[in-house]
């Protein structure tokens, strides 16, 4: 007697050529070891009363300053969690290899395409805490406070500096997420958004490691990256510094980047915590976010950062639910330190500290130290000393702050012959401190590889790409050439008149050099004997058309830039004022396409653009989304154009047909003196989640990207996308027997067990249950197989389903269509004897 179909059911979209899942039996990671239960936590909300400090007028910058900084002009009450004054325990000290190996940040688990190992940093943190506690055991209050207080704006060699004390050499904090900022002899890597669009963990890790090595070589203790805000707003000025518009992709990118950075020796900083999603009003807006959305979307990448052992977290400028981020007990103490078990320290964004009492809300370090640049006073410093002396802030809390900062330094082994700072970030002409240490190694190779791997092929028709020894090519648009005065002509990269390979603001670095597309393509053209022409004038569209006319390939380049809000470029106050290509891009592309039926568009953009004016133009045969590639941009573009690199990049955000299709819009109206309210009413439905939910067809969806091996299937892919959105297949010759409709699309895998002593054959049957909107019978047979199985044996069985199997006939449209709603299925021994259930994942 057979007892069958008892094991888990696994349904996966079927990919031709991809290996079938090797097993479907679920096992518990780490075996059946019971989870470590931490001591009971009873949430208690207690109110404490403090004297109010008017810091700007009365704070002092030195820890030893008198108590006159404290005034008792009023009383504020802030709700604090019960743990606010005491350190949190380390999450677990019982590492359970092999899934949870005890891990040192200098020796992280190797990168895996499907990570199975969860590094446990708790023992390393614990050892670091012991050393830190010992080190500060003879520190005075003032000395402890000095460890928490930056020396003040531009008062040290780095963008942020903690002074030395006794045996502790002090700390150098330096930007940015893509380079060691304000130095020479360092590499300008692709931006965060570009490495995210590789969807390749090994490249994310390698970039982190190379960056970490460069920071260490320059004597930086704390790198101010990665940045992991979420791209909630398509125009968000700093989106390119981060990893795209999905929490999982951002979380994995952050995780790998941090493991890499810290493996290189430098402390990483996860920033900006949290909800700094636009540059307009970044210091005066309250992002109002519900708890579930906060956890599932915006905080998730920070959770992954903590799991990567991140040493520091930077709180952001904005308010969250009406409380400033650096003063936010809920976010810093309750979520980050208690719930996530974060063992490192929280530093403020530059001038984001708003109060001495931020210390009890979870802030450990104020940066750059003064309340406002050059003000000469500090919310910490003398004020913090006074607050501790007067008992408003406990010694335990000050000890915790100091311990966390010094423990992070031990955690990264920076007490062991770490290089001293060898540059002056504020003065490139300072020949005493600028030692010009070359830390670049051969990282340019990685830059080129990531540049190509993050490039997304959006359109490729008539075999336009890869280029095959074209007779000639014309390159049109300023983005194809070098900047007029070299790659660093704009301070803070606040503009570009050549190839765009970085946004602007603090998230930048100086380019050692920058390969333009002209240079990359010419080098290759030399090999092929092709003639190369160019025209970098974006505004003379008549000339562009003339130049393109009659040439074998017309490559037209455009871009779109954005950056940090303290700089405005062409009316873009950090955030982009629209989603239109810069430098006359749309008109330039159309002018070229009007004259050349092999027009290939290359876009270097910080984020999505509306490309409706030209994307369907029949003369535009290919589109390459080349992102923000760093110093090897031109070579990376040439590698993709010529097929030296088969495109594998995928969009880390959705490209909409219309800006209003995006779920959340940039807020530009409000007054800097009032708090601007930004309600995250879209909740969980950012980017593609909204397009899916609201049934809006984007131009190119999140995760989209072609490669040369599938480029001939573009028409089929369009049909599949339309089908997934519930559109009926168009009627035509052979439309009902079309390959895309009948190819295997989903694979259902399960196990059949013979629990008896006799061999036999079982007939597993697969029934589809359409949603009620389809008005189909409750169960319809769509698959079966026969399984011969010996006594007590288990067999893994698969049944595949096509799109046709899941479709209903649409009488009006005369085509096959997926019904609205969830399609489920059952596997059974008859049409009434179901043993397993599942949902189709579309």
Looking at the annotation, which residues are catalytic? 349
Q: Quick one: 160 or 419, whose CB is closer to ligand BGC?
A: 160
Check binding of 504 to ligand BGC (CB under 6 A).
no
DSSP β-ladder status, 833-839 and 824-830: antiparallel
Residue with tokens 């873009």: 572
Bridge partners for 833 per DSSP: 830
Looking only at residues 302 through 341 of this chain, which bind ligand BGC when binding is defined by CB under 6 A?
none
Question: Across 241-392, where does the E strand assignment appear?
Answer: 269-273, 285-288, 312-315, 319-320, 323-324, 345-348
CA–CA gap between residue 160 and residue 278 (Å, rounded): 24
Q: Quick one: 349 or 805, whose CB is closer to ligand BGC?
A: 349
Check binding of 510 to ligand BGC (CB under 6 A).
no
Of the candidates 228, 233, 256, 265, the residue with the CA atom closest to the CA atom of residue 243 = 228
Bridge partners for 172 per DSSP: 161
Q: Quick one: 505 or 647, whose CB is closer to ligand BGC?
A: 505
Check binding of 271 to ligand BGC (CB under 6 A).
yes
| Least CB distance to ligand BGC at residue 507 (A) | 6
Check binding of 194 to ligand BGC (CB under 6 A).
no
Q: Quick one: 229 or 263, whose CB is closer to ligand BGC?
A: 229
In degrees and rounded to multiples of 5, residue 157 shows phi and psi of -80, -25
| Least CB distance to ligand BGC at residue 533 (A) | 42
| Least CB distance to ligand BGC at residue 667 (A) | 18
CA–CA gap between residue 403 and residue 409 (Å, rounded): 10
| Least CB distance to ligand BGC at residue 248 (A) | 23
Of the candidates 153, 617, 635, the residue with the CA atom closest to the CA atom of residue 348 = 153
Q: Quick one: 175 or 399, whose CB is closer to ligand BGC?
A: 175
Q: Quick one: 8 or 491, whose CB is closer to ligand BGC?
A: 491
Q: Quick one: 368 or 482, whose CB is closer to ligand BGC?
A: 368
Q: Quick one: 349 or 494, whose CB is closer to ligand BGC?
A: 349
| Least CB distance to ligand BGC at residue 351 (A) | 8
Q: Quick one: 105 or 565, whose CB is closer to ligand BGC?
A: 565
Q: What is the separation, in whole angstroms, between the first and last Cα of the chain?
A: 37
| Core vs surface per residue 112-122: b (16+ CB within 10 A) or e | eeeeebebbbb
Check binding of 506 to ligand BGC (CB under 6 A).
yes
CA–CA gap between residue 697 and residue 722 (Å, rounded): 8
CA–CA gap between residue 554 and residue 472 (Å, rounded): 9
CB-CB contact of 599 with 617 (8 Å): yes
CA–CA gap between residue 481 and residue 634 (Å, rounded): 9
Residue with tokens 């031109």: 634
Mention every residue, 6+ apart, whose C-beta is less than 8 A from residue 603.
Answer: 557, 558, 559, 560, 581, 609, 611, 623, 624, 625, 626
| Least CB distance to ligand BGC at residue 223 (A) | 10
Check binding of 191 to ligand BGC (CB under 6 A).
no
| Least CB distance to ligand BGC at residue 175 (A) | 5
In degrees and rounded to multiples of 5, residue 209 shows phi and psi of -65, -45
Contact pattern for ligand BGC over residues 143 through 162, marking x by CB under 6 A? ----------------x---
CB-CB contact of 36 with 356 (8 Å): no
Looking only at residues 801 through 840 of this chain, which bind ligand BGC when binding is defined by CB under 6 A?
none
Check binding of 350 to ligand BGC (CB under 6 A).
yes
In degrees and rounded to multiples of 5, residue 214 shows phi and psi of -70, -40
Check binding of 175 to ligand BGC (CB under 6 A).
yes
Check binding of 279 to ligand BGC (CB under 6 A).
no
Q: Quick one: 147 or 270, whose CB is closer to ligand BGC?
A: 270
Q: Quick one: 103 or 506, whose CB is closer to ligand BGC?
A: 506
Helices marked H in 360-441: 381-389, 395-411
| Least CB distance to ligand BGC at residue 349 (A) | 5
CB atoms within 10 A of CB 472: 15
CB-CB contact of 565 with 574 (8 Å): yes
| Least CB distance to ligand BGC at residue 607 (A) | 18
| Least CB distance to ligand BGC at residue 550 (A) | 49
Question: In the chain, helix, strand, coil percent, each to 5?
Answer: 25, 20, 55
CB atoms within 10 A of CB 49: 10
Exactly one of 224, 363, 408, 768 binds ligand BGC (CB under 6 A); that residue is 224
CA–CA gap between residue 342 and residue 312 (Å, rounded): 9
Chain-centroid distance, C-alpha 819: 34
Q: Count interface residues toward ligand BGC (CB under 6 A).
A: 7
Whole-number Cα distances in Å, 251 to 210, 228, 229, 456, 764 = 20, 8, 10, 21, 40
Exactly one of 349, 399, 494, 561 binds ligand BGC (CB under 6 A); that residue is 349
| Least CB distance to ligand BGC at residue 564 (A) | 6
Mention every residue, 6+ apart, whose C-beta is less than 8 A from residue 97.
Answer: none
Which residues here bind ligand BGC, judged by CB under 6 A?
A: 159, 175, 224, 271, 349-350, 506
């Amino acid at each position: 007697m057979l007892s069958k179909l008892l094991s888990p059911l696994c349904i996966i979209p079927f990919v031709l050529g991809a290996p079938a899942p090797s097993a479907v039996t679920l096992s518990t990671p780490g075996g059946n070891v019971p989870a470590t239960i931490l001591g009971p936590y009873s949430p208690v909300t207690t109110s404490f009363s403090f004297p109010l400090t008017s810091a700007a007028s009365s704070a002092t910058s030195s820890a030893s300053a008198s108590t006159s900084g404290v005034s008792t002009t009023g009383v504020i009450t802030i709700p604090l969690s019960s743990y606010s004054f005491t350190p949190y325990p380390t999450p677990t000290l019982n590492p359970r290899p092999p899934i949870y190996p005890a891990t040192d940040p200098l020796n992280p688990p190797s990168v895996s395409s499907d990570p199975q190992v969860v590094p446990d940093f708790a023992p390393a943190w614990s050892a670091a805490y012991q050393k830190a506690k010992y080190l500060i055991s003879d520190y005075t209050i003032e000395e402890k406070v000095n460890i928490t207080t930056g020396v003040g704006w531009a008062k040290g060699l780095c963008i942020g500096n903690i002074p030395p004390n006794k045996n502790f050499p002090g700390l150098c904090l330096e930007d940015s997420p893509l380079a060691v900022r304000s130095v020479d002899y360092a590499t300008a890597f692709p931006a965060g958004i570009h490495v995210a669009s590789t969807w390749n963990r090994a490249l994310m890790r390698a970039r982190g490691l190379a960056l970490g090595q460069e920071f260490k070589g320059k004597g930086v203790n704390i790198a101010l990256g990665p940045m992991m805000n979420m791209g909630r707003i398509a125009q968000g000025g700093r989106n390119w510094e981060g990893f795209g518009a999905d929490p999982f992709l951002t979380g994995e990118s952050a995780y790998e980047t941090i493991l890499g950075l810290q493996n290189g020796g430098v402390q990483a900083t996860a920033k900006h915590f949290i909800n700094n999603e636009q540059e307009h009003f970044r210091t005066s807006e309250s992002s109002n976010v519900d708890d579930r959305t906060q956890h599932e979307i915006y905080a998730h990448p920070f959770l992954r950062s903590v799991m990567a052992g991140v040493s520091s977290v930077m709180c952001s400028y904005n308010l969250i639910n009406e409380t400033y981020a650096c003063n936010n007990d809920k976010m810093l103490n309750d979520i980050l330190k208690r719930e996530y078990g974060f063992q490192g320290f929280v530093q403020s964004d530059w001038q984001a500290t708003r109060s001495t009492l931020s210390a009890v809300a979870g802030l450990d370090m104020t940066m750059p130290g003064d309340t406002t640049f050059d003000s000469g006073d500090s919310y910490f410093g003398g004020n913090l000393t006074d607050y501790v002396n007067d008992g408003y802030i406990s010694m335990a809390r000050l000890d915790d702050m100091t311990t966390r900062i010094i423990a992070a330094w031990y955690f990264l082994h920076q007490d062991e012959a770490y290089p001293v700072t060898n540059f002056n970030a504020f003065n490139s002409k300072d020949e005493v401190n600028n030692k010009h240490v070359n830390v670049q190694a051969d990282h340019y190779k990685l830059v080129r590889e990531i540049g190509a791997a993050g490039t997304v092929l959006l359109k490729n028709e008539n075999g336009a790409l890869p280029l095959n020894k074209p007779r000639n090519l014309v390159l049109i648009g300023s983005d194809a050439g070098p900047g007029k005065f070299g790659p660093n002509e704009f301070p803070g990269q606040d503009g570009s008149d050549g190839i765009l390979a970085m946004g602007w603001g603090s998230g930048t670095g100086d380019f050692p050099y920058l390969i333009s597309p002209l240079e990359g393509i010419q080098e290759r053209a030399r090999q092929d004997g092709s003639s190369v022409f160019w025209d970098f004038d974006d505004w003379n569209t008549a000339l562009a058309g003339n130049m393109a006319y009659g040439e074998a390939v017309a490559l037209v380049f455009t871009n779109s830039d954005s950056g940090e809000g303290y700089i405005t470029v062409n009316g873009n106050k950090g955030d982009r004022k629209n989603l239109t290509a810069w430098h006359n891009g749309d008109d330039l592309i159309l002018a070229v396409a009007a004259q050349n039926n092999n027009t290939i568009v290359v876009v270097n953009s910080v984020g999505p653009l509306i490309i409706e004016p030209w994307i369907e133009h029949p003369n535009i045969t290919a589109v390459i989304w080349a992102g923000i590639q760093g110093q090897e941009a031109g070579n990376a573009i040439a590698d993709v154009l010529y097929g030296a690199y088969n495109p594998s990049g995928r969009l880390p955000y959705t490209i909409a047909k219309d800006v209003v299709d995006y779920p959340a819009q940039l807020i530009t109206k409000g007054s800097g003196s009032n708090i601007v309210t930004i309600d995250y009413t879209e909740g969980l439905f950012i980017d593609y989640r909204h397009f899916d939910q609201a049934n809006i067809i984007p131009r190119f969806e999140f995760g989209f990207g072609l490669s040369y091996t599938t480029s001939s299937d573009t028409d089929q892919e369009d049909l599949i996308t339309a089908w997934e959105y519930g559109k009926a297949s168009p009627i035509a010759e052979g439309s009902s027997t079309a390959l895309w409709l009948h190819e295997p699309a989903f694979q259902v895998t399960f196990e059949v067990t013979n629990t008896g002593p006799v061999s036999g054959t079982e007939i597993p049957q697969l029934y589809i249950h359409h949603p009620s909107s389809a008005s189909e019978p409750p169960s319809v047979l769509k698959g079966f197989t026969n399984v011969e199985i010996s006594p007590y044996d288990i067999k893994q069985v698969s049944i595949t389903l096509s799109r046709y199997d899941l479709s209903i006939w649409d009488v009006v449209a005369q085509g096959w269509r997926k019904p609205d709603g969830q399609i489920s299925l059952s596997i059974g021994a008859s049409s009434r004897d179901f043993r397993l259930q599942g949902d189709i994942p579309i």
